[in-house]
Amino acid sequence: MTHFHRVVYDCYRRLGRSFPWRETDDPYEIFVSEMMLQQTPVQRVMGKYEEFLKHFPIVQKLAEADLSSVLKVWSGIGYNRRALYLRNAARKICEIHGGTIPSSLKALLNLPGVGQSTAGALLNFAFRIPTPFVETNIRRAITHFFQIPGETRDGEILSLVDATMDRKNPRTWFYALMDYGASLRRRPEKGEKKEHRHEPFRGSRREKRGKVLRALLSLGELTLEELERETGEERSQLTPLLRDMVEEGLLKQKGEFFLVGE
């Protein structure tokens, strides 16, 4: 038990957070939470998580689901392509792994939408296999405590995570470490890495994509003309955007109609 451990665990006792996905041991339920939490505030996930599991309680149900039904529940969380990744990951889990969430890093990384961070989180939280990983709260926790520059490479952060993690209690340790990191928001160190800045959301291509998706989810299938009217966007803006969304598998085109699904 080092000083670092004492600080982190002490913080956890004082202001550790409780979430539905921290109460379950079901790897599928934890998997869903990790996919939702990518680049998404915890508070927002809280509002959708239980509803999502009510609609898709087990991985087989999600695997069978139409993309439109998944996106209807997902809508509002953001980064809609993650819903497609998640549904497709569920299919792959059913086809290749017999409906069991895989517990090896290699197999997890082969699932769509699962990278180093999500795979690491899953191994620790769902399977209690101690696995170093880096995400924003862990980065903040490590750079703050060890007083290293915010621009420090993930590789170096990762080796510090590896060197300091509590291998006997991986799940609790990473909850504690992430909560410690979360408690440090709002008072960044001098050299804190500036998260790459976004364009304004208003008027952005992202916003247009969101409008298109919402229109198609609520009205079914629409022509280009109808989409122009429903979203209030110009055809010249809509056309390339629709082509990309079809390409990504978010939308499908049947004749002159566009609809949600791949």
Residues catalogued as catalytic: 34
Residue 198 DSSP symbol: P
Nearer to DNA (CB atom), residue 39 or residue 159? 39
Q: How big is the site for DNA, counted in residues (CB under 7 A)?
A: 59
Q: How many CB atoms lie within 10 A of CB 125?
A: 24
Binding flags for DNA, 40-79, as an x/- string (CB under 7 A): xxxxxx-----------------------------xxxxx
Q: Residue 237 CB, nearest distance to DNA (Å)?
A: 12
Which one of 6-14, 96-104, 114-122, 229-237 is the stretch in contact with DNA (CB under 7 A)? 114-122
Q: How many CB atoms lie within 10 A of CB 227?
A: 23
- Decide: is 257 part of the binding site for DNA (CB under 7 A): no
- Applying CB under 7 A, which of residues 57, 115, 191, 220 lies at the interface with DNA? 115
- DSSP per position, 135-196: -HHHHHHHHHHTT--TT--HHHHHHHHHHH--TTSHHHHHHHHHHHHHHTTTS--TTPPPPP
- Applying CB under 7 A, which of residues 34, 145, 227, 251 lies at the interface with DNA? 34
Which one of 34-42, 98-106, 155-163, 227-235 is the stretch in contact with DNA (CB under 7 A)? 34-42
HSE value, Cβ hemisphere, 13 Å, CA-based, for 222: 22
Residue 58 DSSP symbol: S
